[in-house]
Each structure stands twice: as structure tokens, then as C-alpha cells.
Chains A and B, each alone.
Chain A
Amino acid sequence: MLRVALPLLGLPLAGAGTTEEPTLELGSPGEPPPGLALFRWQWHEVEAPYLVALWILVASLAKIVFHLSRKVTSLVPESCLLILLGLVLGGIVLAVAKKAEYQLEPGTFFLFLLPPIVLDSGYFMPSRLFFDNLGAILTYAVVGTLWNAFTTGAALWGLQQAGLVAPRVQAGLLDFLLFGSLISAVDPVAVLAVFEEVHVNETLFIIVFGESLLNDAVTVVLYKVCNSFVEMGSANVQATDYLKGVASLFVVSLGGAAVGLVFAFLLALTTRFTKRVRIIEPLLVFLLAYAAYLTAEMASLSAILAVTMCGLGCKKYVEANISHKSRTAVKYTMKTLASCAETVIFMLLGISAVDSSKWAWDSGLVLGTLFFILFFRALGVVLQTWVLNQFRLVPLDKIDQVVMSYGGLRGAVAFALVILLDRTKVPAKDYFVATTIVVVFFTVIVQGLTIKPLVKWLKVKRSEHHKPTLNQELHEHTFDHILAAVEDVVGHHGYHYWRDRWEQFDKKYLSQLLMRRSAYRIRDQIWDVYYRLNIRDAISFVDQGGHVLSSTGLTLPSMPSRNSVAETSVTNLLRESGSGACLDLQVIDTVRSGRDREDAVMHHLLCGGLYKPRRRYKSCSRHFISEDAQERQDKEVFQQNMKRRLETFKSTKHSICFAKSKPRPRKAGHKKKDGVANTEAANGKSPRALGFQDTAAVILTVESEEEEESDSSETEKEDDEGIIFVARATSEVLQEGKVSGSLEVCPSPRIIPPSPTCAEKELPWKSGQGDLAVYVSSETTKIVPVDMQTGWNQSISSLESLASPPCTQAPTMSRLPPYPLAAEEPRAPLDLPPDPRPSFAFPPSLAKAGRSRSESSADIPRQQELQPLMGHEDRTHLSPGTANSHWCIQFSRSGRL
């Protein structure tokens, strides 16, 4: 091998050596073109993207390193660390390359780095909170920014007039105003980076953060107006220009918002029609949002505002339209991009600061600016808050004001803007750059470092992260309605009134227009919360180990104290599951025997092993990540299966009904029981999959057959609702199912693959659920688990399955007959000693057939063996529904092997 490999290795190496020269000499004429080069070094072709990727990689690695130590990150905000890292890297680059490279270019920043961050913040903005505080946010964003810009600019000019700024800083009032306008804006990136770690209460956060987003319009306008004034020269500025400046404020802000909303509308509308091309849904979100940004930028409107509004506006509809997976994709991609951009921004900020050629230092200017921005920020906040508190329902107290003043961080936006200045028009640019860098570094590092202790020290109300509860959601909705109604009664059209009106409008027109019909129909916030809660519970349940339920495990979603415990609980189960949600398992405590665990392990082993081949051919389409297709296919198979069975069942039922006498089934049932008892005795406690069920059966043998009858009759009544029957008839049904399963028809349940596995494919927690069900059944001798099982299966097909629960559930469970056989095969004989089988002579031939089938894994006999079973059940209860349900049980039980 080696001998063969060496020459192969050597060849390319030699080739590389030789190709270097030809490529170099390519330009020289007369030289014959070189032969085919095996290896070629083409750095320049990939240089730019390669460098970008490298920088991002470095930044990401740095992040990993930072987070290795929890202590460091808990004390120092990441942004500080990144800036410091940038400084170090910049130093290295400077030392190596002798010139500053890899600066934060304004173009790159505004076109590539900023949009993801803004989109992320806009899209995930808690819209309710945002609009609740819109007044305050707008005030701070507009008035506050104007105030900051003008006061800072004017004060600096005053400082210069007072002679505290060195005369070499050549700047007039307009220059200082320009500088003030760019330095005054609170930066969304910096605020987000710092405040996300501080966890102040939501109101405070949304005010500071909302301000930093919305002030972009003001900043852009001020910057542009001042810049053009500076370029025109103060002498040429006329009164109309000032008016134009004021007007442009409205144009830029409202225009930006309008662009954003238009694109939000487009986006929502587009996602409505992506049903067949789910894969591009996430892409659409990003594309259209980015298009909004670029469009606004192109029209020199406020791009940040546009993206914010786009994200804010489209979220509700987009989330409703796109698939669950796309939602996750959007979320993660957005977060990844934003965090990536943020990281790069801070790192490049650090690197850019190293370049001393760009800046010139003036202590007076730097210190003055630092002082003024802090002072005027605080002053502005206090003044505005005082005014706002006259109108606010919940006034902002002093501590809030301190945090707000202190949280006015400046960041990369200011830096990018100052870099954009034209040196020929603004002679003091270098000084401004230096000052901006210092201000940015000061606010990000010093304030960023100290704001956490400050918040702690001031005992600012923190945000409590608590799980949403259904009650909370429901009652808050009630509150909203109440408040809207009270405002109506009072006749004062306040905030709640308009919100209510908007919601009406949205419900009537917008949602209908922008949401997929299917999404619109099931759209309801309370329902959403309920759904999410259930999913969360299920996930956490599985995370905890997915094996719970003590003998009191029937607490499930129902109230144990009710008289009709089982019934209600099961109906609940059904309802919940039928509607595509999971059970609430919080109440369940973990009691689990070793055997349970063993069984679970075995179950998973089997499931895992058996399903692989099927799984394999799933992910071949590039255009669809569709488990949907797969799922549908499976479902189809099941349904066909089930149909066939039902048909055969029907025919048998009819024939048997008339052909056989009543006593017979009873006898059979009796025998079955005996058989079970025997089985149990024989087996002892051998770790079998069916062990629990056997136990259950044994317990149940005590029950009289009359009970059975009455139970079953009850069952019949409830039959319509699908699986409810089980609740009352649990023991009996269980037993019967069990009996037939373990004995005569033993192959059939075993053969049928565990439904949880199929569920597993789709929902990771389902398998856990399945296990759970087994244990419950074993310990409580109730059938709730079966229902849960069916519930799970139903939830596969989500809400729609509600219509025909029994149909869907049974098929899902009984799918993939051949697979488990192989695994089960060796065990089956062990489990079932041969003696009981003959005694339990239903139609003996069929039993035999079933048995033989278990060995041969033939598909045909199963049909036959099913028939007697059904027939028997039918004879007992004379109700197809019940029989049907018994079916379910059998399958589900087997499923839980």
C-alpha cells in the first residue's frame, strides 16, 4: 500500500513545484504553454472572501475562548472583550504589515454588518411592549437625539470659543454641530450588546433599545443636513434650507418606515404562497428585509427604521405562514448572522483604533466631548422623563432615569459616520475621529463594564424570566378586553381603544389577506400559547428522562379528584393530543423500576435499529426537507393497511356475528384469562417486553365478566369520541387486548412496530411518551397510557386528525409489520410457553396460523388471525367502535414493547 501511495503523493508535490514557475512565466511570450498543472496556488483569486471568512472565524473562535471562562464573561461584556481583542489584533497587523489594514469600512458596515443586527432586533422585538411604550421611545429617539446633538455641538463650540480646545482644531459652529449630530446618537449595536447581558426590566430595556433603533432617522437627517451645510459653507445656508432640513426629518423617518412596511407587506404576502417550496421560506425573509434596507438606503431614507419596521410588521404573518422548521431556520440564521456581524463590528472597531494615521489627539476636545455627552444625555433624559411622566401610566422613576442616561452607549454607527466625513470639507476630521474612537471605547468599555454593577447597586427592577402560563396569557387577554371596554365606556379613545381597533382591523382584513387560510383559521393567541406550553412540557419531560408516572401517575392533565377521573382524563388526553399538542406531564413524579428502564432501552434499541433503512431514503430531495412527504407516505400506508383490516374486520364481524353463539366468546375470554395467568406464572419475572401487561392481566382476572360487559357497553356510548372508551373500560379492554396479544394473536401485536418509534421520527419526545405509557399501564392497570399513546399518534397528524381519530391512530401504530419481527422473533417463544396457547383455542387453526406466522413473518396469515380477534371482540360488545378501539389497544401495546 505504502509503496503505491508514495509515488501518488510525490506526483502532486513535484507537480506543485514545477507549476509554480510556469505560472510565473506565463506572461513572457514565446514560452510554450505549460502542461496541465496538477497543483496551483491561486491566493489572489480567493483572497477577499478568504480573508472575510478568516476574520469571522477568528472572531468566532475568540468568542469561544471568552466563554470558556464563565467568570470573565459574567463580569466583562463580550463587546469589551472583542474591542480589546481587536486592539491586540490591530497591533499585530500593524507590527507585521507596517500599515494598518482591515479597518472598519463604512461601506461594509452599513451595507453588510448593520442590516443583520437591525433585522434581528426588529424581527424579535417584543411588539406589544414596543407599542406600549412607543410614546416614550419616540420622544427619546427624536427629541432626545436632537437635544443631544445640538447641545453637545453647541457646548463644544463654546468650549472652543473659551479657548479650551487647541486652536489647531479648525472647526466652526457647523462643524461642531455636525460632530454633535454623529456623536449624539445612541447606538443600537452597543446597546444591544451590553443590555442583553444586564437583564434590566423589559420596559427599561425596550425604551433604551427602541430609542437606539428609532433615532437612526434623526441621526441620518441631522448628519446629512449638517454635512451639506458644512459643504455649502455656513454663509450660503439660507432659511429655506433649515426648513428643508426639518422637512427632511419627516421624509426620512416616515419614508423609511413606509418602505419597511411595504416590504413587510410583500414579505407576508409572498410567504403565503410558499406552501410547495418551503425550503425558500427563510431565504425570502432575509431577502426581502435586506431589499427593504437597500431600498431605503438608496432613497437615502432611514434604512435602520425600514428594516426595523419590516421585521416588526411582518413577523406575525410570516410566522403564521411559514412552516415550523422554516421558523427555526429563520430564527437561528438571524441570530447567527446578527451575532456574527456584531462580533466583527466590535473587533474591527478595535482594529481600526490602532491606525494612528487617521486620528489626531486633542485632550480638550476629547474630554469636553466625553463630559458633554454624558451630561447632556443625563439632563435630556431627566427633562424628557419629567414631561413623559405626566402622561405615563407607570412613571419612570429616578433609578430608571439613571440607567437610561448611563445606558446611552455610542458605537460603530458614530464611528462609521465620522470616517465618512470629507477631510477637505471638514478640516478637523482627524480630531473628530480620535474623539469618536475615545467616546465609543469609553462608552462601550467603561460604561459597559460598570453598568452591571450599577444596575445591581441601584437595585433596578430586573426582568424576571418566568415561564408563560396559560392562565397568564388568558387573563391578560381578558385584561386587554376589559381595558378596551372601559375606555369605550369612558369615551376616551386612548391607547387600548386604538389597539383594540387595530386588532379588529387586523383580524378582519390584514390577517385574512396575509395569512394562509389554514394558518388563519387556527390562529389564536391563547391557542398558540397552549400549544407551545404543551410542546415545551413534552420536551422538558423527555429531557428529564421521559420515564415517569408513579402509580398516581393518573394525575395527568386531569384532576385526580374528580369522580370520573379516568373518563375526563382520557377525554382530555384525547382532546389535547387530537389537537396536535402533547400532554402536560409536569405533575408526574419520577418513579421507575429497573425493569422499566430495561424495557425502554430495549424499545429504543429496536426502534432505532428497525427504522434505519426507512429513514435512509428520506433526505434525497434538495428542494424539500420534507418529512412531510415521508410522513404522508407512511400515513398512506397505514391508512391503506387499516382500511384493509377494517374491511376484513367488517366482513368477519358480520359472518361471525351470525355464525357464532354468544357464550362462546365468553368462554374464550375466560380461557384467555386462564391462559394469561398461566403465562404469567410460567414467566415469572423474566424481563420481557410484555411483562407489565401480563401483570395487569393477572390482576384483572379477578374481575367478573359482567363487569366486562357493562364496561364495554359504556364504552360503546363514548365510542364516537374516538378513544375515550378506554378510560372506563380500561382494565377489561386492556386485558383482552393483552390476552389476545400475548397468546393467540401474540404475533400480531409484536409484529406491529412500536408506534412511538414512528412518532420518534417526527417528534423526539414521543418515544419517551410511549415508554411512559407502558409503565403507567403496568403499574396502574389503567389504560390511560394507551390513550396517551393514541394521543401521540394523533398529534402526528396534528389538528386535522381530530376528525377521525380511531382511523388514524390505529394505522399509525400498526405500521411496518415486518420489521420488528426479526428482533422479536427470538424472544417470542421464550415469552410464551406453548401450553397456554392451545388451551386458548379461539379458532385454533387461526391461532396456529398466527403462531406459525410469527416464525415465518409472513404477512398473509396476519390478516386471518386478526379476524377472529375482531370477531371475538365484536361478539362481546357488538360494537364496531369498541372493537376498533380494542384494536388500537392491541397495537399500541405492542407498540410499546
Chain B
Amino acid sequence: MGSRASTLLRDEELEEIKKETGFSHSQITRLYSRFTSLDKGENGTLRAKKWVTLTLVYVDREHGHRLATPFPKQKDYVPEDPSCTWLKPFPVYRNSLRGSAETDLTSTHEDTGLIPGLAHREDFQRIPELAINPLGDRIINAFFPEGEDQVNFRGFMRTLAHFRPIEDNEKSKDMNGPEPLNSRSNKLHFAFRLYDLDKDDKISRDELLQVLRMMVGVNISDEQLGSIADRTIQEADQDGDSAISFTEFVKVLEKVDVEQKMSIRFLH
């Protein structure tokens, strides 16, 4: 088992995540610990696999290879980069970057089924508050790539990055770069995808009705829901296709402070 647990968040990955999502180091590590704790197997086997090692992994920059020790003994092992101060005894998972270019990770590809380091759908569903969230299932779905039941840390972070507040220095950032994940339109798109089940970039009446049924109390009759849905669509619909396209969705919400209302504060 120990051999399989070969990798933890390494600097490069961390940097990549940081670059992609804009989270700070401390936020990433905090979220990583959350991710790992989410990733508790629901059955004995998974658990056994996952918690075999309590190992610390350091990147030894001089020699270019990773070292793993059961306990951090010396600070020397930690690169000077302050980003590594977070390194704590984490349960070590061998694959936190599924599908990345890392050669030593490709071998783990075939047995992704129950690989630790991936959060599974059930892991999310076990969160008690999510279970009572009317949109809980939809939101959980949003964390997972299409057709898959698991997500790696990077994907997890990518999803969470949508909710990072937009900081001042980001507003003035260059326009030519790729749009940050937490941009207004990405935030909106995240919400839009919750409605748009069939991924046709349109919220149809049925899709809207489904969401409404989840959100609105049971005492509202179907007819009433239907009229709400109709009215909602009619309000937003501009091209007369009786569905809400993403552009229409954006237009409808243009007066809403989405930047604020779709952001949460991640602890530093």
C-alpha cells in the first residue's frame, strides 16, 4: 500500500491549482484537508485503502524527487518556499491529479474506481446539510465531470473557484488572458448549468419546472408552479423560443450583484 501512496499535493500541482483557480496557498491546503476528509470511504475497504498511510511527502528540490517520511523531522526537508509550511501529516493519497501530464500518475489511471484521492459522489451526499438542500443533488452534480462519479482535487478546486470573490486587483487584470473561473459570467454559467439538465444551453420550461418543484414548497400546486415557470420564461425570453438561453439568463440578471451573491468567503 505504501508504494501506491506516492504523491501528495506537490509544489507544481499546487502552483498550477493556484494559477488556475486563484486560491492562495493556505486556502488550497485548507480545502485540501477538507477534500481529504470528505473523501472518507463509505465502506471498510475504501477506508482501509485510504487511511493506510499517514505520511508526509516533501519535494526535495535539489534531487528532484519526492521523499516521504512518516513524520516531519526536520524543516530542511521543506523547501524554502513558504508555500510548503502547510505541510502537515495528511493522509497521503497517491493520486491527486488524475489525468495530468505526470507520467508517474498515468499508471493509476486504470483503477480509478476506488482510488483514494478522489472524492466520490457518495462522499458529498453524506454531508448532512447538503442532503436537505433542495438543490443539493444538482450542486453535487456540478462538482463532477460529466458522466463520472468522482472528482479529483483539482476538479474540486476548479468548481470551488467559481465562488471565490472577485478581488480588486483582478478587476483590472488584463483582458486577453483566459477568463478567471470566478468571473461574473462563469459564476452565472455555473448557476445556469444547474437548471440546464440536458446541456442544450437553454432552460426549457420543463427544466425550470423541475427546479421550481425542488425549491418551492410542496403546497404550491403544479398549476401554480407552471404559471410561475411560464411567467419566468416569458420574462426572460427574448427570441421567442420559450426557453431561456444563457444570454437571456445573463440579461435577466444584469442588475443583480452576481459577483457578491455568488461568492463566499474562503478562509485564508
Contacts and interface: CB of A to CB of B under 8 A. Distances in A.
Interface of A: 391, 393-395, 464, 466, 469-472, 474-492, 494-497, 500-501, 504, 521-524, 526-527, 530, 533-534, 557-562, 568, 571-572, 574-576, 578-579, 581, 584, 587, 799, 802
A395 B168 contact: yes
B34 interface: yes
B217 A478 contact: no
B105 interface: no
A561 B232 contact: no
B252 A490 contact: no
A554 to B, nearest CB: 13
B87 interface: no
Q: Is the interface of B mostly helix, strand, loop or mixed?
A: helix
Contacts of A500: 129, 133
Contact of A524 (B165, B195, B219): B219
A316 B127 CA distance: 30
Given A471-B232, A476-B256, A496-B264, A802 B223 contact: yes
B19 interface: no
Contacts of B235: 469-471
A109 to B, nearest CB: 39
B160 A481 contact: no
Given A524-B220, A579-B221, A479 B38 contact: no
Contact of B217 (A485, A488, A495, A524): A524
Contacts of A521: 217, 219
3 nearest A-B pairs in the assembled complex, by CB-CB distance: A575-B227, A559-B242, A485-B139
B37 A488 contact: no
| Interface magnitude class on chain B | 35 or more
A559 B204 CA distance: 13
A530 B242 contact: no
Contacts of B258: 479
A589 to B, nearest CB: 16
Most buried by A among B163, B234, B236, B267: B234
Contact of B139 (A472, A482, A587): A482
Interface in B105-143: 124, 127, 129-130, 132-136, 139-140, 143
B54 interface: no
A476 B37 CA distance: 30
Contacts of B191: 475, 478-479, 482
Nearest to A504: B132
Nearest to B251: A471
Contacts of B234: 557-559, 584, 587
Contact of B194 (A478, A494, A560, A574): A478
B253 to A, nearest CB: 6
A486 B163 contact: yes
A557 B230 contact: yes
Contacts of B197: none
Contact of B130 (A485, A501, A557, A558): A485
A526 B38 CA distance: 33
B65 interface: no
Contacts of B130: 485, 488-489
B223 A492 contact: no
Interface stretch (B41-49, B72-80, B208-216): B208-216
A571 B222 CA distance: 12
Nearest to B221: A802
A244 B232 CA distance: 57
A470 B228 CA distance: 8
Contact of B223 (A479, A481, A575): A575
B13 interface: no
Nearest to B37: A491
A823 B61 CA distance: 100
6 contacts: A393-B165, A471-B236, A492-B264, A492-B266, A500-B129, A574-B223
Given A393-B264, A486-B160, A490-B34, A478 B211 contact: yes
Nearest to B195: A478
Contacts of B221: 579, 802
Contact of B240 (A479, A560, A579, A799): A560
B69 to A, nearest CB: 27
B224 A561 contact: no
Nearest to A587: B234
A526 B216 contact: yes
Contacts of A572: 226-227, 230
B31 to A, nearest CB: 7
Interface in B224-258: 224, 226-228, 230-237, 240-242, 244, 249, 252-253, 255-256, 258
A490 B227 contact: no
A481 B129 CA distance: 11
Given A471-B253, A522-B220, A559-B233, A490 B228 contact: no
Nearest to B242: A559
B265 A393 contact: yes
Nearest to B142: A482
B24 interface: no
B262 A530 contact: no
Given A478-B215, A482-B139, A470 B129 contact: no
Nearest to B27: A490
Nearest to A490: B34
Contacts of A483: 163, 261-264
B266 A526 contact: no
B135 A481 contact: yes
A32 to B, nearest CB: 77
B265 A486 contact: no
Contacts of A584: 231, 234
A488 B241 contact: no
Given A475-B191, A490-B31, A558-B234, A526 B135 contact: no
B211 to A, nearest CB: 7
B266 A490 contact: yes
Contact of B165 (A394, A475, A530): A394
Contacts of B133: 481, 484-485, 488, 500
Contacts of A522: 219-220
B260 interface: yes
B195 to A, nearest CB: 8
Given A559-B237, A578-B223, A584-B231, A485 B135 contact: yes
Contact of A477 (B165, B215, B233, B244): B215
A561 B242 contact: yes
Given A469-B252, A476-B256, A578-B223, 16 more contacts: A471-B252, A478-B194, A482-B194, A483-B261, A489-B130, A490-B31, A490-B160, A497-B129, A521-B217, A521-B219, A524-B219, A527-B224, A559-B233, A579-B221, A579-B223, A799-B224
A677 B18 CA distance: 80
Contacts of A481: 133-135, 139, 215
A393 B135 contact: no
B153 interface: no
A471 B248 CA distance: 11
B139 to A, nearest CB: 4
A571 B259 CA distance: 38
B190 interface: yes
Contacts of B135: 478, 481-482, 485
A474 B261 CA distance: 13
A527 B211 CA distance: 14
A494 B223 contact: no
A368 B217 CA distance: 59
Contacts of A575: 223-224, 226-227, 230
Contacts of B249: 475
A479 B143 CA distance: 16
Contacts of B263: 393, 483
Given A483-B262, A558-B234, A472 B256 contact: yes
Nearest to A562: B242
Contacts of B227: 530, 557, 572, 575-576, 579, 581
B255 A466 contact: yes
A491 B260 CA distance: 20
Given A393-B264, A393-B265, A482-B135, A475 B223 contact: no
A638 to B, nearest CB: 23
